[in-house]
């Protein structure tokens, strides 16, 4: 005959098993998703692309500024070389030269801004590379720790499952089914201790006759308030 003491022992194993299984799941989840390296790699990729864009913009602007400087030198030679004497032509050259100088000034200002952007981007990229190296080194250590922990948890779970299997072999199927249903519906606590006349599952006082039945231990008694199996320690 299955006793409530056996049910209580089964519950103790199940509580340990739940805890071990939860720790195992958390450890496995951290192994699968917990390194954070992917986020750093994505951020580094974005910053590298921004730096590349800024450097391309810098080269293009520098090339354009040099082109305009060459144009300015050519116009300057034409203005003061003495070959052009027509006032209208000279006026047109002066106007064009003035516009070219303005363009050069604009390009140089743009180059200063781009240089600042490149410097910031290079610093951020370097900073992220350092963080990524640190994260990879730290994750390698943490990964080893988690793998060792997981092995221990698996071993512990298998041992508890073996103990549980041996215990359930001697329990009658009806009592075991009742226990499983109660455990599922009562938040994992199918068997409640009785202390000072109180059910420790719901903290409700038990009628005197129910306490006597629990004390006798001849049959399984359910709490009149919460329906859990009662066990007198």
Residues 70 and 138 both lie in one domain:
yes
Count of structural domains within the chain: 2
- For the chain, 233 residues long, give each residue's pLDDT as a single digit of tens: 678 999 999 999 999 999 999 999 999 999 998 778 888 999 999 999 999 999 999 999 999 999 999 999 999 998 888 888 888 988 998 999 999 999 999 999 999 999 999 999 999 999 999 999 999 999 999 999 999 999 999 999 999 999 999 999 999 999 999 999 999 999 999 999 999 999 999 999 999 999 999 998 778 899 999 999 999 97
- Count of other CB atoms within 10 angstroms of residue 138: 13
Query: CB atoms < 10 A from the CB of 16, how many?
Result: 16
> Are residues 232 and 217 in contact, defined by beta-carbon separation less than 8 angstroms?
yes
Rounded to the nearest 5°, which phi and psi values hold at 170? -100, 0
At residue 35, the pLDDT reads: 76
Q: Check whether residue 153 and residue 53 sit in a common domain.
A: yes
CA distance 54 to 92: 36
> Residue 26 falls within a domain, yes or no?
no
CA atoms within 13 A on the CB side of 130: 6
Domain limits at 220?
A: 4-10+172-232
Tokens of 132: 């990524």
- Residue 157, in any domain of the structure: yes
- Between CA 28 and CA 32 the distance in angstroms is 6
Q: What's the pLDDT at 1?
A: 66
Single out the residue in 169, 194, 215 at which a domain terminates.
169
**Domain finish residue from 127, 143, 169:** 169
Q: Which residue, of 154, 169, 184, is where some domain finishes?
A: 169
pLDDT at 82: 81
pLDDT at 174: 92
CA 16 to chain centre: 27
The model's pTM = 0.69
Q: Which pLDDT does position 97 carry in this prediction? A: 94
Residue 79: inside a domain: yes
pLDDT of residue 89: 86
**83 plus 46 within the same structural domain:** yes
């Amino acid at each position: 005959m299955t006793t409530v003491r056996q049910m209580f022992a089964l519950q103790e194993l199940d509580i340990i098993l739940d805890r071990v299984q939860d720790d195992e799941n958390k450890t496995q989840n951290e192994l699968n998703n917990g390194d954070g390296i992917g986020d750093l790699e994505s951020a580094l990729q974005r910053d590298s692309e921004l730096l590349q864009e800024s450097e391309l913009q810098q080269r293009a602007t520098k090339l354009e500024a040099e082109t305009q400087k060459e144009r300015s030198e050519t116009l300057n030679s034409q203005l003061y070389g003495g070959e052009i004497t027509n006032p209208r032509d000279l006026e047109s050259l002066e106007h064009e030269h003035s516009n070219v100088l303005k363009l050069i000034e604009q390009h140089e200002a743009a180059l200063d801004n781009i240089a600042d952007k490149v410097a910031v981007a290079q610093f951020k990229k370097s900073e992220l590379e350092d963080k990524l190296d640190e994260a990879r080194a730290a994750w390698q250590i943490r990964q080893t720790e988690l793998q060792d922990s997981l092995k221990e948890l698996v071993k512990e779970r298998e041992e508890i499952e073996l103990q549980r299997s041996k215990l359930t072999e001697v329990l009658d199927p009806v009592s075991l089914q009742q226990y499983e249903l109660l455990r599922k519906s009562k938040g994992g606590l199918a068997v409640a201790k009785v202390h000072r006349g109180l059910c420790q599952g719901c903290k409700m006082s038990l009628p005197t006759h129910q306490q006597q039945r629990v004390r006798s231990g001849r049959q399984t008694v359910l709490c009149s308030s919460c329906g859990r199996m009662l066990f007198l320690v």
